[in-house]
Chains A and B, each alone.
Chain A
Amino acid sequence: MSLLSGIGKIRLNGKKELTKSKQVLSLPEPEIVYIPLIIGASTDFDVHVSEGDYVHKGTKLATRKDIYVPLYSPVSGTVKGIEKRMHTSGKIQNHLLIENDFKDDEITPFSYDNPDSLSAEELVEAIKEIGILGLGGSGFPTYVKYQNAKNIEAVLINAVECEPYLTSDYKVMEKHSEELLDGTHFLMKAGHAGKGIIAVKVTNKDLILKLKEKAAKFNDIEIVGVPDAYPMGWERVLIREIFKKEYERFPSEIGIIVNNATTAIYLSEALRQKKAITHRIVTVSGEGIKNPENVYVPIGTSVDYIIDKIGGYNDKCEEIVVLAGGPMMGKSIANDQFVISSYSNSVTILPKKDTDEMPCLRCGLCVEYCPAKIQPVQIMNGEKMKDLDSVTNAGADKCITCGLCSFICPSKIEVTDWVGKAKTRIANARKAGGK
């Protein structure tokens, strides 16, 4: 605990036991997959196919225009046009419909004959062509981190998975530990980094052992156990924990690139098996459904289809919330028609609980636990007065929307939302100021 800056993290009831020891279910593929034509805030895409076209599994369907990201077809079949549909962003967006012919007719969209001989630049190009995106739905393409990288010392693989309920990363790593190490090596090479570190929660003892065994062959990858705390998986907290260092905006300032475990695994699979990202493991959990599971589905599978296949909603709940993501950072979506993207690691379904909001006690617990080391209560008070200076001085823009302040608040105030509003206020003022 720090005397002046508080604890900055907390141990949560992870509820991981709901799915952790269960086998991953390979669901029958859906008849139609929906490919969202949106990544991050960008909806501007070049669509390379038109209605009625036959596509293979692996056919390039579209590319994002502003920052290059290709989208590949996860199934073979016929293009059925474009439809507006709910998206994990919470808004209605364009989706490309593919009717599955269940033939699994696959092509290789890219081919790297000898992946081990690729140079760093060629690897970055490969990461770009494979279309790997960062997690969290921000849709930040992984290759961008490497294009601008200078003096990178270590690649830090974030395998922490600190959100409650989520076990999809754990499941993927359990199955693909070989690919995880292999992919880490490729990433290290792409960043000219001499060192790789894979951070896993200490509570995942079996996984740590397994990875350590595999890593023993090399002397440049280290497996590090980190405390079971939230938000340990956030870059800044993870780096604080492992390197005892702080940075201004990006970890690359102190010579570190952080990638998610699935990124490394995707990369290895794409390079060695020449496979586009077509499927993924998703945790579908929470008390709002009957059988929490990890499912293996094609990208573009609709959530209602998955829930139906695994036994449906819990009839005992009258009202539920469906979250794209986990309970802390996940976003409530108004219906269950949204689809799984390559970066969706989970869907959490919870019974709706009403909170009884009390006046702010000014207890400072939100300050004590904020991982961004800002003062949510002060920002909330500043925001209530619409005081731009005050929220700016308080550093509201540093908030990462981790939700810890609302979580911890004994008065059950929506502190995170207030800070969010303050953040928007600052962003709008910056835009207006032309900066």
Chain B
Amino acid sequence: MKIIFKRTTPNYRNILSTQEIMLYLTITLLIVSAVSAGYYFTLGADYGIKAVLMIAVSLISAYLCEAAYFYMLKEKDILKAVNRSFPYVTAILFALILPIGTPYYVVISGSLFSILIGKLIFGGFGQNIFNPALIGRVFVMMSYGDKLTAVLPSKAVDSVSGATPTTMLSGTGWSGNVGVSLTNLYIGFYKGSIGETFALLIIILGIFLAIKKVLDWRLPVFYIGTSFIITFITALVHGLSPFGFALVQIGIGGLIFGGVFMLTDPVTSPSSPYGKIIFAIGAAFFTMLLRYRSNMPEGVLYSILIMNMLTPMIDRYTISPTNENENRKKIYVIGLIGISALLITLFWRGA
């Protein structure tokens, strides 16, 4: 028995660890993966197997990439170093935002890109500025855009069924038919990226993660909430049925998936409550702006990357004590949401 002097306080620690946070996140992502694979098996065994293999291939590539990286850094315990870098979270996330028709070599190169360029070159876990999975997604979209289809290449003849609700809607100036019923849009049994369609399930998992303190509830709530308000007001002004329109708009394009799993990546989002709220509202604004005013209906992706870039700025702007000027901050928040809704209403060129 020896008395040790410990320079640091406190000597009492919470159980929740970063390893556990990542574990919870991975479990929820695996649930999404399992449901997704199940859905694709109903379309045919080849679809189901493809979905499973895409996730597996992405995982293997990510692990190999990290192992090679740490090997080159002459790390002694490579396995430990890789495990402390959590490649699996990025790898699964990346696979889940690809459509089913994505060829394996695209999955591999995207996964490698996510890990290497998205995370490792910034100095590894905790240092990256952008969400690594999204970096990978943008990379494959730019390099192999035409390969990212929602049908297996072998079945490419029936190209109509490859259209996702998002692409269909954008083709009709956003006021046409989604192609799936509102209920199914939320249940998720339609084609899109393999993991992002199961909105209802993702919401439930998100609530679980928020309770477990794995993610901050403010991010998805303000992101999805602001998106809802923006589209609701847009529809109202432009004479569409506001509820139906807004529900469709937040149901498509992986918005809910992005809000729960991508926007909430702690490393790339601000750390204060106020900062997180500004961040989420900004992402909602850019999502809608890109959706309606660019030829990239997948606004979610870019909007989150844009906000990732602004995170250091938001952090600097919100550095003062969190209970200073609370009322003024609340007014700013409402103002930001209002301005976003107004601008999108003005910019909207549908109908």
Contact = CB atoms under 8 A, between A and B. Distances in A.
A417 B9 CA distance: 7
B349 interface: no
A390 B316 CA distance: 9
B4 A362 contact: no
A353 B10 CA distance: 12
Q: Which of A348, A378, A395 has the most chain B CB atoms closer than 10 A to its own CB?
A: A378
B269 A362 contact: yes
B76 interface: no
A358 B18 contact: yes
Contacts of A348: 11
A320 B13 CA distance: 16
A5 B326 contact: yes
A348 B6 CA distance: 13
A164 B12 contact: yes
A387 B4 CA distance: 33
Contacts of B1: 313-315, 317-320
Contact of B8 (A318, A360, A394, A414): A414
A417 B12 CA distance: 14
A327 B9 CA distance: 8
Majority secondary structure of chain A interface residues (helix, strand, loop or mixed): loop
B271 A367 contact: yes
Contact of B4 (A319, A356, A394): A319
Interface string A364-379: 1101101011110110
B142 interface: no
Contact of B12 (A12, A333, A370, A394): A12
A261 B282 CA distance: 50
A261 to B, nearest CB: 23
Contacts of B5: 321, 332-334
A363 B4 contact: no
Contacts of A333: 5
Contact of A334 (B3, B84, B315): B3
Contacts of B3: 319-322, 334-336
Interface string A294-335: 000000000000000000011101111111000111111111
A2 to B, nearest CB: 8
B2 interface: yes
A277 B3 CA distance: 31
A373 B172 CA distance: 49
Interface residues of A, number: 68
Interface in B303-341: 315, 319-323, 326, 329-330
Contacts of A353: 11, 13
Given A359-B124, A364-B266, A408 B320 contact: no
Given A362-B126, A395-B321, A398-B321, A328 B10 contact: yes
Interface stretch (A24-32, A39-47, A399-407): A399-407
Contacts of A84: none
Contact of A328 (B12, B271, B323): B12
Contact of A323 (B11, B20, B277, B330): B11
Given A4-B329, A367-B271, A329 B2 contact: no
Interface in A337-358: 348, 350, 352-353, 355-356, 358
B170 interface: no
A6 B320 contact: no
Contact of A350 (B11, B84, B127, B321): B11
A403 B12 contact: yes
Contacts of B273: 2-6, 364, 367-368
A419 to B, nearest CB: 11
A406 B6 CA distance: 14
A320 B11 CA distance: 11
B196 interface: no
A87 to B, nearest CB: 14
A401 B315 CA distance: 23
Q: Which of B19, B315, B323 has the most chain A CB atoms closer than 10 A to its own CB?
A: B323
Contacts of A398: 321
A328 B125 contact: no
Contacts of A365: 213
A246 interface: yes
Contact of B320 (A2, A364, A395, A412): A395
B274 interface: yes
B295 interface: no
B4 A320 contact: yes
Contacts of B109: none
B126 A360 contact: yes
Given A336-B3, A378-B319, A394-B320, A330 B329 contact: no
Contacts of B7: 332, 417
Given A317-B1, A359-B127, A410-B16, A367 B322 contact: yes
Q: Which of A367, A403, A412 has the most chain B CB atoms closer than 10 A to its own CB?
A: A367
A361 B10 CA distance: 20
A13 to B, nearest CB: 9
A411 interface: yes
B188 to A, nearest CB: 28
A252 interface: no
A260 B303 CA distance: 53
A315 B2 CA distance: 10
A148 interface: no
21 contacts: A2-B273, A4-B274, A12-B12, A315-B1, A319-B3, A320-B1, A321-B3, A321-B4, A358-B125, A362-B269, A362-B271, A363-B21, A364-B276, A367-B272, A373-B321, A374-B321, A394-B319, A406-B9, A407-B12, A409-B14, A416-B8
Given A394-B319, A394-B320, A410-B17, 6 more contacts: A320-B3, A329-B9, A332-B11, A348-B11, A401-B9, A407-B14
Q: Report, nearest first, the 8 A-B pairs whose CB atoms are least far apart.
A: A359-B126, A403-B10, A327-B12, A364-B271, A363-B266, A334-B5, A373-B323, A5-B323
